[in-house]
């Protein structure tokens, strides 16, 4: 709820100050000169264009992630972020609005540069004032103990006590430590914290986080044990929960961290989201556009495939199965049926294998050419899946893998995909070892997710289909 309030208040404040920027720009450009004849306009006439331009800016800021991570962000860092994005936004507006009136002649090119620079400076000053005022008010609220993030400290030794004391000394860290979580009793001989504030053990931490609505978890263990850290990270992989550790552990998670400082206390942000907001927007837009481009012309061909499936083996043409999606949300996945009906009735859920007797003759070719996955573009349109991402698994297997493969849950932080880095680099799962290998590729994708990587995977997938290397 606090996060929603932060976003709404920032959007409203930005909008108001951007409206102000438009009026100030009008005064500077027309009333005060810049080499242009004064033009008299009533303030009411400027209101509609001011609203349109302000909405443009708010949308652009949202696209580039300026409404993310607003909680106690450094005011200086935030102004730098605003400055970078406002340069891009001003250049876009310049070409859209002013190019026709200013032209490209040598006579007014110099004037055009000054108009653009002036508008950028006005926007930067106004939005910076908006953000500075909001963050200052936010810090004052925190000093009064309002709007604090609820936090746990994992650990019960001297390191945990030191972290807690540091946070208490600096209230503007914005954290209200509710208590401690022990490492399954292994620290019982070296407890330095108040025992009454130990709320449970690491094995219970996920339930404790959900019960107490915790937003931040700080891991402060006494020894540098990779297995302990991985076990903790496996449990805390929850949406909108920030995980920080003391830097003694940074070698364990190289590539998965981002250094941060809280009033001299060095901490590492574990597994931050590497994909900017604008790339997420473009990825989703690409999913929708490409799915429509494929589904519309392929629809008659899909009808033919459905009829062939019905004629060559008994049972429905479309196979529906529950899979685990982003953040472990279940969804129904669609595929063309490639196996005989009730193929797992006797055996239960099992992996596919070479020359799998459950696969129909037609299903063999559908799989080889990846045509069995065409109906999954419907899942992509619905938002259950993406074109690129880790393959969605059945709940039965996910429950097994989470207990046997370290950090397996991490691959569930993104939408599953029709194709993925593991699919172009590895074969179908036939054993737990195959799953472990594919998980390495999936985790690499999750930690390095980008539009560039998605394009690379899509090109590899197209080449695989053309060469008939599917299974």
Within 198-237, residue ranges assigned H as helices are 205-212, 226-235
Better pLDDT: 111 or 94 = 94
pLDDT digits (tens, 9 = 90+) for 221-265: 777 666 777 778 877 877 778 888 876 544 444 444 454 545 445
Give backbone dihedrals phi and psi of 243, rounded to 5 degrees, phi first.
-115, 130
Structure tokens at 471: 């299974």
Q: What is the pLDDT of residue 378?
A: 96
% of the chain beyond a pLDDT of 90: 31
- Cβ–Cβ < 8 Å for 29, 118: yes
Q: CA quadruple 221, 222, 224, 227: dihedral positive or negative? A: negative
How far apart, in Å, are the Cα atoms of 232 and each of 70, 196, 226?
Answer: 26, 22, 10
Q: Which domains does the chain have, with CATH numbers?
A: 2-143 (no CATH), 149-270 (3.40.50.720), 277-467 (no CATH)
13-17, 115-119, 169-173, 464-468: which is most confident = 13-17
DSSP character for 148?
Answer: P
Instruction: With a cut of 50, say whether residue 368 has pLDDT above it.
Output: yes
Structure tokens at 40: 């008299």
How far is it, in rounded angstroms, from Cα 234 to Cα 410? 8
Q: How many CA atoms lie within 13 A of 334 on its CB side?
A: 15
How far is it, in rounded angstroms, from Cα 229 to Cα 207? 18
pLDDT digits (tens, 9 = 90+) for 11-42: 999 999 999 999 898 888 776 655 555 555 55
How far is it, in rounded angstroms, from Cα 34 to Cα 241? 50
Better pLDDT: 430 or 399 = 399
How far is it, in rounded angstroms, from Cα 34 to Cα 382? 51
- Cβ–Cβ < 8 Å for 337, 312: no
Instruction: With a cut of 90, say whether residue 370 has pLDDT above it.
Output: no
Q: Report the mean per-residue pLDDT for the chain.
A: 82
Instruction: With a cut of 90, say whether residue 330 has pLDDT above it.
Output: yes
Distance of alpha carbon 31 from the chain centroid? 46
How far is it, in rounded angstroms, from Cα 420 to Cα 371? 16
- Cβ–Cβ < 8 Å for 64, 276: yes
Q: What is the pLDDT of residue 251?
A: 45
Q: What is the pLDDT of residue 252?
A: 42
Structure tokens at 168: 């208490």
Better pLDDT: 214 or 246 = 214
Q: What is the pLDDT of residue 94?
A: 79
pLDDT digits (tens, 9 = 90+) for 29-83: 776 655 555 555 556 677 888 899 999 999 999 998 899 877 777 788 889 999 9
211-225 average pLDDT score: 83
304-319 average pLDDT score: 92
Better pLDDT: 423 or 227 = 423
Within 170-257, residue ranges assigned H as helices are 205-212, 226-235
pLDDT digits (tens, 9 = 90+) for 161-173: 888 888 887 766 7
For the ranges 2-6, 105-109, 144-148, 357-361, which has the lowest average pLDDT? 105-109
């Amino acid at each position: 709820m606090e996060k929603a309030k932060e976003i709404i208040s920032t959007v409203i404040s930005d909008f108001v100050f951007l409206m102000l920027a438009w009026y100030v720009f009008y005064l500077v450009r027309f009333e005060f000169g810049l080499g242009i004849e004064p033009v008299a306009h009533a303030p009411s006439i400027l209101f509609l264009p001011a609203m349109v331009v302000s909405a443009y800016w708010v949308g652009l800021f949202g696209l580039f992630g300026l409404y993310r991570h607003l909680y106690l962000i450094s005011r200086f860092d935030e102004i730098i972020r605003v400055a970078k994005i406002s340069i891009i936004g001003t250049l876009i507006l310049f070409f859209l609005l002013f190019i026709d009136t200013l032209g490209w002649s040598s006579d007014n090119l110099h004037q055009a540069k000054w108009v653009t620079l002036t508008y950028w400076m006005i926007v930067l000053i106004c939005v910076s004032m908006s953000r500075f005022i909001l963050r200052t008010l936010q810090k004052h609220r925190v000093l009064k103990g309002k709007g604090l993030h609820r936090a746990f400290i994992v650990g019960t030794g001297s390191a945990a006590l030191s972290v807690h004391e540091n946070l208490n000394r600096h209230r503007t860290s914005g954290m209200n430590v509710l208590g401690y979580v022990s490492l399954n009793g292994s620290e019982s001989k070296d407890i330095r914290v108040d025992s009454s504030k130990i709320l449970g053990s690491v094995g219970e931490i996920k339930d404790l986080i959900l019960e107490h609505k915790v937003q931040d978890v700080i891991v402060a263990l006494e020894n540098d044990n990779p297995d302990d850290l991985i076990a903790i990270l496996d449990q805390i992989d929850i949406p909108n929960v920030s995980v920080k550790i003391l830097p003694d552990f940074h070698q364990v998670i190289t590539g998965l961290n981002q250094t941060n400082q809280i009033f001299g206390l060095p901490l590492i942000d574990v597994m931050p989201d590497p994909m900017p907001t604008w790339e997420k927007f473009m990825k989703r837009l690409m999913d929708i556009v490409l799915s429509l481009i494929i589904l519309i012309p392929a629809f008659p061909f899909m009808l033919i495939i459905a009829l062939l499936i019905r004629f060559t083996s008994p049972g429905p043409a479309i196979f529906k199965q529950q899979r685990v999606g982003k953040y472990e949300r279940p969804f129904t996945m669609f595929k063309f049926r490639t196996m005989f009906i009730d193929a797992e009735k006797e055996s239960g859920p099992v992996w596919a294998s070479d020359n799998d007797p459950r696969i129909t003759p037609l299903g063999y070719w559908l799989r080889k050419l990846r045509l069995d996955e065409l109906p999954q573009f419907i899942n992509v349109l619905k938002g259950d899946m993406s074109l690129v991402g880790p393959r969605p698994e059945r709940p039965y297997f996910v429950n097994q893998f989470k207990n046997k493969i370290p950090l397996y849950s991490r691959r569930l932080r993104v939408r599953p995909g029709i194709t993925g880095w593991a699919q172009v680099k590895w074969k179908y799962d036939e054993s737990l070892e195959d799953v472990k290998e594919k998980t390495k590729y999936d985790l690499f994708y999750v930690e390095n997710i980008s539009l560039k990587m998605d394009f690379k995977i899509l090109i590899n997938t197209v080449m695989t289909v053309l060469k008939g290397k599917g299974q």
